[in-house]
Amino acid sequence: MTPPVLEVKDLRVHFLLDEGVVRAVDGVSFAVHPGQVVGIVGESGCGKTVTMKAILQIVEPPGRVVGGQILFRKDSAPPVDLTRLSPKGAAMRAIRGAEIALIPQEPMAAFSPVHTVGDQIIEALRLHERQWRPTGPRLSRHEAREMTVDLFRSVGISMPDQRVDAYSWQLSGGLRQRAMIAMALSCKPRLLIADEPTTAIDVTTQAQILNLLRDLQRRHGTAIVFITHDLGVIAQMARYVVVMYLGRVMEQGSVADIFHAPKHPYTRALLKSIPSLHVIPRTLLPTIAGSIPHPLGRPHGCPFHPRCPDAIPGVCTERVPALRPVGPQQLASCFLYHRDEAAER
Amino acid sequence: MARYVLKRLVLLPVLLFLFSVTVFAIVQAPPGDFLTTYVATLASSGSSISAEQIEALRREYGLDRPIWVQYIRWMQNVLTGNLGLSLEYQRPNAELIGERLVLTVVLALFAFAITWIVAIPAGIYSAMHPRSALDYLLTVLNYIGVATPNFMLALVLMWGAFAYFGLSITGLFSPDYVEAPWSAARGVDLLKHVWLPAVVLGVAGTARLTRVMRANLLDELNKPYVTTARAKGLPEWRLVLRYPARLALNPLVSTIGWYLPLLFSGSLIVATVMNLPNIGPLLLRALINQDMYLAGSILLIYCFLTILGTLISDILLAWLDPRIRLDEG
């Protein structure tokens, strides 16, 4: 198997507030292989977006990466630990946008309203010119514009010639997200991070955008980290799934394992709360008992234990379970599957 | 864009008409007229004037006619470019206002330029390094700047310059040039003197503008498009100047319109303290003496400049912000 393009190891991102420390990401590990789509799923506030920002090294203060490694591999070169690079330094900036690109959450607000969308893509193309085209003459503005038109065509934007000169608020939500995808792909990145790319879009357009992403992914072989809270979207897009809760990985495995043989009580509860066509009408949709704790009031022990139906008193309330194998390609952090670990004192 | 500007140009005469009526009504509002004040001044200095003479003067100036007739006569003159005669100085108003207006505008533009050149970079720095030592220092300076009355700052500077450097820094010209006709040398002399009153007039505005720029930019820095631009790999300074700073400026540009007249009227006390030959003291005197055509002319010019300032800021805003430019309505 080829080595992973991205390997996150025990990542910790803390927000140092006056009121205390919020451990937004608290020991997250996963790997992304070339051409693979990895889904990160979890409720709001589970640390999905902060994980994304940490990979790009754009966590805003008072947030800080306080531990762990983010190994990024370019071809056969030894991996670079992104946490060791200065977030504002040239080395990190050369990776950001060129090697790892972002498709942000809200296409509505993700473009500057006072610059044309074309202008913002041309900027990216020219900024990273030496990364995606190491030799040749400097890229002219005109040439960059032609390339942007081609990019627009490839992401299925009609009348690309005119759309290049449009402002984002003149485009529909779907077109805006297509333009955003065009920008993310402009420098031929190795890894795409899609942060809830379809959440703010209506369902029909959502399906089109997902098809487009899948299609582009197959054509370019780009690896994608796909962040969402929508398990339906994950099932369509990802081959490997990471389930997060309160800044920790609860379970990870292939899509088939996660959906058909979920191990962790949290994953099971999540799956149960998806509306289905097969249930008896007019019955209540099962929900997860309780609510997400306050960020400053993290439960002691396993973060999920206050809402967990299977919590083991005296064990889950005291100690934090480690992420350990529960199947050939499946890992879970739960004492239910690690009685030996639970028994240790 | 052309339609946008045209629409505002069409509105200009309508607004000026409304303002002229208001200005005239206000100038006429105090009881009595120029002659009652004139008689009172004469009486206080011991001399007197006969009732016949007063009646003759009143007829000559048209002060015995109804107000609306006086207004129409004034307007007829103004429209033909004649601002009338100052009752007090017995000289054409245009001549009295002329140079003082030029100096007022020069002073205001300098104060305005200083304000923006200092406040915008300071505000950007503060927003990019919130809670840093320099940010705190700027905040303290800003509060002092807002809280200090500008005439007091003028007094302190004048005293300091005189006590420690033996300099007299009042006026806008050296003594040799006060009465001299305009020449290149006089212009240079003006530039040597204008900066201090401009600084005095600009301090409070600079402090306010720095705070507003800081707050606006802090808001913009949290917007998703900044994250997008950062994820693109732009260097931080280039990113801030190109995206959020540009958007943070928009609301400020729309305030230029009322900033200019504020400088004109706000300079009165400073002008008196620093003995500046600008239009403020002239207006004050004209109002006290009920020299109504002079006061009316000055106020009308103020109104015109206000409308012009607003028009300029509207055009600037449309040019800066495509959301306004392209929203044809």
What average pLDDT does the segment B119-138 reach?
93
Nearest CA to B177 out of B185, B165, B168 is that of: B185
Distance CA A320, CA A316 (A): 7
Instruction: Identify the DSSP state of B68.
Output: H
User: Among A11-20, A61-70, A334-343, B259-268, which is the least confidently predicted range?
Assistant: B259-268
Q: Which amino acid is at B55?
A: E
> What sign for the dihedral angle of Cα A158, A160, A161, A165?
positive
Residue B267 pLDDT grade (very low, low, confident, very high; cuts 50, 70, 90): confident
Nearest CA to B301 out of B101, B112, B92 is that of: B101
Model confidence pLDDT, tens digit, residues B83-124: 777 777 778 888 888 878 888 888 888 888 999 999 999 999
End-to-end CA distance of chain B: give it in Å, rounded. Answer: 11
The number of beta carbons lying within 10 Å of the beta carbon of residue B328 is: 7
A146 part of contact set with chain B, CB < 8 Å: no
Q: With a cut of 80, say whether residue B257 has pLDDT above it.
A: no
Using the structure block, give the residue that is written with the tokens 């050369």: A94
pLDDT of res. A1? 63
* Surface of B (301-320) touching A: CB under 8 A: 320
pLDDT of res. A342? 64
B110 class by beta-carbon count within 10 Å (0-12 exposed, 13-18 middle, 19+ buried): buried
* Surface of A (36-75) touching B: CB under 8 A: 53, 56, 58
Distance CA B240, CA A56 (A): 18
The number of beta carbons lying within 10 Å of the beta carbon of residue A337 is: 20
User: Among A7-16, A131-140, A264-273, B70-79, which is the least confidently predicted range?
Assistant: A131-140
Q: With a cut of 90, say whether residue B174 has pLDDT above it.
A: no
Chain A residues with CB under 8 Å of B228 CB are 102, 104, 110-111, 120, 180
Q: What percent of chain A has pLDDT over 70?
A: 98
Residue B248 pLDDT grade (very low, low, confident, very high; cuts 50, 70, 90): very high
What average pLDDT does the segment B10-28 reach?
87
pLDDT of res. B119? 94
Check CB contact under 8 Å for A96 and B224. no
- Give A70-129 as a DSSP string: EEE--TTSPPEEGGGS-TTSHHHHHHBTTTEEEE-S-HHHHS-TTSBHHHHHHHHHHHTH
Q: With a cut of 70, say whether residue B244 has pLDDT above it.
A: yes
CA–CA distances in Å: residue A278 to residues A256, B177, B328: 20, 95, 52
Two tokens at A22? Answer: 């919020």
Contact (Cβ atoms closer than 8 angstroms) between residue A44 and residue A82 = no
Model confidence pLDDT, tens digit, residues B292-301: 788 888 888 8
Average pLDDT, chain A: 87
Residue A53 to chain B, least CA–CA distance (Å): 9
Chain A residues with CB under 8 Å of B247 CB are 112-114
Q: With a cut of 80, say whether residue A107 has pLDDT above it.
A: no
Category of A221 on φ-ψ map: left (φ > 0), alpha (ψ -120 to 50) or beta:
left
Q: At what angle do helices B279-288 and B256-274 cross, to 10 degrees?
A: 80
Q: At what angle do helices B93-128 and B292-320 cross, to 10 degrees?
A: 30
Contact (Cβ atoms closer than 8 angstroms) between residue A177 and residue A211 = no
Residue B266 pLDDT grade (very low, low, confident, very high; cuts 50, 70, 90): low
Residue A320 pLDDT grade (very low, low, confident, very high; cuts 50, 70, 90): confident
pLDDT of res. B118? 95
What sections of B129-177 are H helices per DSSP?
Answer: 133-147, 150-165
Closest chain B residue to A93, measured at CA: B233
Largest CA distance in chain A: 68
Two tokens at B275? Answer: 């003995």
- Give A214-256 as a DSSP string: HHHHHHH--EEEEEES-HHHHHHH-SEEEEEETTEEEEEEEHH
3-class state of residue A200 by DSSP: coil
Q: With a cut of 70, say whether residue A112 has pLDDT above it.
A: yes
Q: With a cut of 60, say whether residue B328 has pLDDT above it.
A: no
Chain A residues with CB under 8 Å of B229 CB are 112, 120
Contact (Cβ atoms closer than 8 angstroms) between residue A101 and residue A193 = yes
Q: With a cut of 70, say whether residue A299 has pLDDT above it.
A: yes
User: Among A46-55, A70-79, A173-182, A234-243, which is the least confidently predicted range?
Assistant: A70-79
CA–CA distances in Å: residue A42 to residues A236, A266, A299, A321, B51: 16, 10, 18, 18, 95
In this structure, the dihedral spanned by the alpha carbons of residues B198, B199, B203 and B206, taken in order and rounded to 10 degrees, is 80
Q: With a cut of 90, say whether residue A38 has pLDDT above it.
A: yes
Residue A270 pLDDT grade (very low, low, confident, very high; cuts 50, 70, 90): confident
Distance CA A221, CA A190 (A): 8
What average pLDDT does the segment A48-68 reach?
90
CB neighbour list of residue A177: distance below 8 Å, 6 or more residues apart? A103, A107, A197, A198, A201, A205, A209
Q: With a cut of 50, say whether residue A216 has pLDDT above it.
A: yes
Q: What is the pairing mode between strands A248-254 and A331-332?
A: antiparallel
- The radius of gyration computed from the CA coordinates of chain A, to the nearest angstrom, equals 21
The number of beta carbons lying within 10 Å of the beta carbon of residue A220 is: 15
Q: With a cut of 90, say whether residue B308 has pLDDT above it.
A: no
Using the structure block, give the residue that is written with the tokens 């200009």: B12
Sheet of strand A20-32, all strands in order from the earlier edge strand to the far edge:
A20-32, A6-17, A63-72, A80-81
B230 part of contact set with chain A, CB < 8 Å: yes
Contact (Cβ atoms closer than 8 angstroms) between residue A179 and residue A157 = yes
Residue A104 to chain B, least CA–CA distance (Å): 7
Chain B residues with CB under 8 Å of A170 CB are 326
User: Among A229-238, B105-114, B122-131, B180-189, which is the least confidently predicted range?
Assistant: B180-189
Check CB contact under 8 Å for B233 and A88. no
Chain B residues with CB under 8 Å of A105 CB are 224
CB neighbour list of residue B149: distance below 8 Å, 6 or more residues apart? B269
A273 part of contact set with chain B, CB < 8 Å: no
Task: Select the more confidently predicted residue: A134 or B21.
Answer: B21
DSSP-assigned beta bridge partners for residue A245: A248
Task: Select the more confidently predicted residue: B240 or B323.
Answer: B240
pLDDT of res. B196? 85
Two tokens at A199? Answer: 């959440």
Of B224, B233, B250, the CB nearest to A96: B233
What average pLDDT does the segment B153-172 reach?
83
Task: Select the more confidently predicted residue: B193 or A167.
Answer: A167
pLDDT of res. A251? 92
A267-302 exposure pattern, b = at least 16 Cβ within 10 A, e = fewer: bebbbeeeeeeeeeeeeeeeebeeeeeebeebeebb
Two tokens at A222? Answer: 């780009």
Q: With a cut of 80, say whether residue A136 has pLDDT above it.
A: no
What average pLDDT does the segment A182-202 reach?
87
Give the CATH H-level superfamily of domain B99-279: MetI-like (1.10.3720.10)
Residue B329 pLDDT grade (very low, low, confident, very high; cuts 50, 70, 90): very low
Residue B236 to chain A, least CA–CA distance (Å): 7
CB neighbour list of residue B137: distance below 8 Å, 6 or more residues apart? none
Residue B91 to chain A, least CA–CA distance (Å): 53
Q: With a cut of 60, say whether residue B50 has pLDDT above it.
A: yes
